[in-house]
Amino acid sequence: MPASPRSRRPSLRVERALQRDGHRLLAGMDEVGRGALAGPVSVGVVVIDEASRSAPRGVKDSKLLTPANRERLVPRIERWARAYAVGHASAGEIDAVGIIAALRLAGGRALAGIADAGIVPDLVILDGNHDWLTAPTEVGLLAFAGGHPGASTPPVATRIKADLTCSSVAAASVLAKVTRDRMMVALAIEHPAYGWEVNKGYGAPEHLAALRVQGPCVHHRRSWRLPLGDDGTVTEPMVEPVVEHMETAG
């Protein structure tokens, strides 16, 4: 019986094929936090080139790793990558522009992080079957090939389950997950009632219970359907402006 996709280790097979096609500098990209009720959505990017060797042993989709293993992998991924960054879009920005546009903001900020190091990838490998990175007004794969010379992002190749098969995307998922988890643990100190140090802002029972008792705080996505407080009200929302903000991994 053939191995299931989740049991296979990611490799650079897809990346090498794309490099043979002329995309020498490749960026694997993945997001975390899309389905959370609180906190940012975060996008990791890891860049490799033709000289990059196999990814550090143990790199795989972040959801298949324990928190301790993810933490141990971060410095190894950072040494392995040609460049790396993690970008974020806040809960306020998600409320203001919607989740897809917020993903685009976070992805653009991750790309800005590697651009600061002089790195502009030839192609981005994006997990899934939807290109949320490219602006709707721009032309994906033709953007840097003359079809849209003013494109704000590199061309994108989407691939279903890329986090399970492509080492660069799996590595990006690990960096994004660890970086966002650290942010949620820090926010949990300011807002201890919601249990974010454990649930990281997702809809776990203790998080939902706290929302029903006291309603959402500033870091909740108020445009989403959230439980109300016991009195049926919520505090006045504080929506952050849509401004540029980027944090690099590490």
Q: What are the tens digits of pLDDT across the range 165-183?
A: 999 999 999 999 999 999 9
Asked if the structure places residue 196 within a domain, the reply is no
Local structure of residue 143 (DSSP, 8 states) = G
Residue 196 in this model has a pLDDT that exceeds 70: yes
Asked if the structure places residue 15 within a domain, the reply is yes
Give the domain range for residue 57: 6-183
Angle between helices 67-80 and 167-190 (to 10 degrees): 120
Residue 239 in this model has a pLDDT that exceeds 80: no
Asked if the structure places residue 60 within a domain, the reply is yes
Asked if the structure places residue 245 within a domain, the reply is no
In angstroms and rounded to an integer, the radius of gyration of the C-alpha atoms of the chain is: 19
Question: Residue 63's pLDDT is what?
Answer: 85
**What value does the mean pLDDT of the chain take?**
85
In this structure, of 107-111, 197-201, 234-238, 239-243, the range with the lowest mean pLDDT score is 239-243
- Say if strands 26-32 and 83-89 run parallel, antiparallel, or are unpaired: unpaired
Average pLDDT score over residue span 70-94: 96
Distance of CA 154 to the CA centre of its chain: 17
Residue 225 in this model has a pLDDT that exceeds 60: yes
Instruction: Assign 250 a pLDDT band (cuts: 50, 70, 90).
Output: very low
Task: Return the CATH number at 158.
Answer: 3.30.420.10
**Count: domains in the chain:** 1
**Of 3 and 250, more confident:** 3
Q: In this predicted model, what pLDDT tens digit does every residue of 100-153 receive, in sequence order?
A: 999 999 999 999 999 998 999 999 999 999 999 999 887 544 444 444 455 578
Local structure of residue 61 (DSSP, 8 states) = -
- Regarding pTM above 0.95, the answer is no
Distances (CA, A) of 21 to 24, 25, 102: 8, 11, 31
Is 165 in contact with 159 (CB distance < 8 Å)?
Answer: yes
Nearest Cα neighbor of 141 from 154, 162, 155 is 155
Asked if the structure places residue 129 within a domain, the reply is yes
Question: Residue 9's pLDDT is what?
Answer: 85
Asked if the structure places residue 236 within a domain, the reply is no
3-state secondary structure of 89: strand
Looking at residue 38, its amino acid is A
Give just the sign of the alpha carbon dihedral 150, 243, 247, 198: negative
Please tell me the number of Cα atoms within 13 Å of 126 on its side-chain side: 24
Asked if the structure places residue 224 within a domain, the reply is no
Other Cβ atoms less than 10 A from the Cβ of 64: the count is: 14
Asked if the structure places residue 231 within a domain, the reply is no
In this structure, of 41-50, 141-150, 191-200, 213-222, the range with the lowest mean pLDDT score is 141-150
Is 114 in contact with 84 (CB distance < 8 Å)?
Answer: yes
3-state secondary structure of 250: coil
